[in-house]
Amino acid sequence: MRGQIWYIAFLIGLMCLIRFGLSAVGYADPPWLMEQLGAPVASNIQMPYIIRVWAIRDIVLAILVATANPSTVKTLLLACVAIDSTDVLSAHLSGTAGLFHADETWSLKLTAIAALIPELIALVLLTIRKNMGAD
């Protein structure tokens, strides 16, 4: 994110804060996060492990993106968009399979969408700037 124009840096920073903050909470207290997302530990005792695996993935991604130089930030943002898009799709498919109620499914989708929106906008703006010769 280093060396970016302020509004792109803001969007990337927002995505990193969302991704890192939610993941830090998930890693520190997976049962609490699961409860907030409507998937209590009692329904799946292996889930705290999965939450921590997801959390580490997102913490590492946030750090990589936040410290990326201009030549690698687009690639990292593209990876984040792909990951968050598949997270939204996975939540949707889990909901349609009956694994979660509608409100729980939306809660899971919205956690990924919260990071997806700023990172996607930042990626589009970076692409537009590059195509216009600004970089």
Element (H, E) at 25: helix 6-28
Confirm if 11 and 122 have CB atoms less than 8 A apart. Answer: yes
Which segments of the chain have a pLDDT < 70? 1, 133-135
Range of the domain at 115: 6-131
- Maximum distance among all Cα pairs of the chain, rounded to whole angstroms: 54
Residue 37 lies in a domain: yes
Task: Supply the pLDDT for residue 1.
Answer: 67
Residue 74 lies in a domain: yes
What pTM, to 2 d.p., does this model score? 0.85
Classified as helix, coil or strand, 63 is helix
Residue 122 lies in a domain: yes
Task: Supply the pLDDT for residue 134.
Answer: 58
Residue 92 lies in a domain: yes
Task: Supply the pLDDT for residue 135.
Answer: 53
Residue 1 lies in a domain: no
Residue 79 lies in a domain: yes
What DSSP letter does each residue of 73-133 carry, written as one string?
Answer: HHHHHHHHHHHHHHHHHHHHHHHHTTSS-HHHHHHHHHHHHHHHHHHHHHHHHHHHHHHTT
Residue 127 lies in a domain: yes
Residue 66 lies in a domain: yes
Q: How many domains does the chain have?
A: 1
